[in-house]
Amino acid sequence: MTTIGFIGLGIMGSPMSGHLVAAGHAVRGFDLNADSVAKLVAAGGTAAGGVADAVAGADVVITMLPDHPQVEDVVLGDGGVLELAAPGTLLVDMSTIRPETSVAVAEAAASKGIRVLDAPVSGGEAGARQASLSIMVGGEEADFAAARPLLDVVGKTVVHVGPHGAGQVVKAANQLMVGGIYALVAEAIVLLEASGVDAKAGLDVLAGGLAANRILDLKRETMIAREFAPGFRIDLHHKDMGIALAAARQADVALPVTGLIAQLIAAGRARGYGSLDHSALLKVIENLSGR
Ligand code: NAD
């Protein structure tokens, strides 16, 4: 049994922490939202009153927070994880943030004897609920080996992809592909409907051909029904496209399609769809066609 401090019990952190409890670990969870903490307690975890409480006595601290400002606040800030955790503690940041923040966190942690992995995930809310996430891990091999049994509880495809920050670069590559696939599924739906073809029948057959993909499998029915409850918010995907474009600039490469997808997602946000699921890219494509 591992004692785990889990900080960030939202759409992803809630089911993930629940799986760790079910696997027999002692999980002390903290979130700014008291309802989320109550959910963990109902699942058999323990409520932490703050970061200090979550970190005290923890072998492993897991963070699943929205973006880098929250990670900087919780990890690097006054009364944060690095100030309070005992030397030897393993911090696994599973948030999607910019790679340079992951590297900065690892450097700051090393001076305190705290080990760090960046371990962002893919698979969405469904993957978190089904414990079938893909987890891309950056950091030291030995720390990956130590974290692996816990990561295997919440993930199905768990891969050490390189040094600190590498997990975040892989996640950025994931997000540009996911955004592009959503945009194209949306365009297919708009084309089919505008042509008087049944979109469900059309996508059902496409899901068995070369255009088959997970998003078509998981989301075509809710997209056709215009059900856009998150899931993964447009606001978070907008953040991730910024990370991808910044990583491209850093690597000195041109990613023109990524730029276009980023603008479509920005348009969704500007239209007020930020708190909808990213499948609401369909609304952006409809807006462009005056539909
Ligand atoms: P979310 O907003 O549902 O959850 C984040 C939680 O962090 C919230 O409950 C919030 O109250 C809490 N929080 C924020 N600041 C805090 C602080 N200072 N102290 C304690 N708690 C704090 O977001 P989510 O959808 O669970 O996403 C979390 C991360 O996972 C993001 O980086 C996101 O990009 C990534 N991600 C999300 C999905 C998805 O499908 N939702 C999939 C893969 C990766």
Same domain, 23 and 151: yes
Write down the pLDDT at residue 230.
95
Write down the pLDDT at residue 37.
98
Residue 82 CA to residue 101 CA, distance in Å, equals 14
* CATH number for position 93: 3.40.50.720
Same domain, 29 and 158: yes
Last residue of a domain, one of 113, 143, 163: 163
Could you tell me the two tokens for 290? 């005056």
Please count the structural domains in the chain: 2
Share above pLDDT 70 across residues of the chain, in percent, rounded to a whole number: 100
Task: Please classify residue 210 by burial: count the beta carbons closer than 10 Å to its beta carbon, then call 0-12 exposed, 13-18 middle and 19+ buried.
Answer: exposed
pLDDT in tens, 99-124: 999 999 999 999 999 999 999 999 99
* CATH number for position 199: 1.10.1040.10
Confidence of residue 79 (pLDDT cuts 50, 70, 90): very high
Q: How far is the CA of 273 from the centre of ligand 1 (A)?
A: 18
pLDDT in tens, 242-278: 999 999 999 999 999 999 999 999 999 999 999 999 9
Write down the pLDDT at residue 96.
98
Same domain, 251 and 141: no
Same domain, 155 and 52: yes
Mean pLDDT of the chain: 98
Same domain, 18 and 75: yes
Closest CA to 263 of 271, 254, 275: 271
Task: Please classify residue 271 by burial: count the beta carbons closer than 10 Å to its beta carbon, then call 0-12 exposed, 13-18 middle and 19+ buried.
Answer: middle
Write down the pLDDT at residue 44.
98
Last residue of a domain, one of 163, 185, 216: 163
Q: Report the residue among 6, 7, 11 best suited for mutation to probe ligand 1: largest number of ligand atoms under 8 A from its CB.
A: 11
Average pLDDT over residues 65-87: 97
User: β-strand 3-7 against 60-63: which pairing, if any?
Assistant: parallel
Same domain, 92 and 234: no
Same domain, 158 and 177: no
Write down the pLDDT at residue 93.
98
**Among protein residues, the one whose CA lies closest to atom 1 of ligand 1:** 10
Tell me which residue range forms the domain holding 95.
3-163
Same domain, 257 and 152: no
Q: How far is the CA of 74 from the centre of ligand 1 (A)?
A: 13
Task: Please classify residue 249 by burial: count the beta carbons closer than 10 Å to its beta carbon, then call 0-12 exposed, 13-18 middle and 19+ buried.
Answer: exposed
Write down the pLDDT at residue 158.
98
Write the DSSP string, 38-93: HHHHHTT-EE-SSHHHHHTT-SEEEE--SSHHHHIIIIISTT-HHHHSPTT-EEEE
- pTM attached to this predicted model: 0.96
Same domain, 144 and 202: no
Last residue of a domain, one of 128, 163, 198: 163
Pocket of ligand 1 (CB under 6 A): 7-13, 30-33, 36, 64-66, 70, 73-74, 95-96, 121-122, 124-125, 231-232, 236
Write down the pLDDT at residue 290.
96
Same domain, 204 and 255: yes
Same domain, 121 and 155: yes
Same domain, 121 and 38: yes
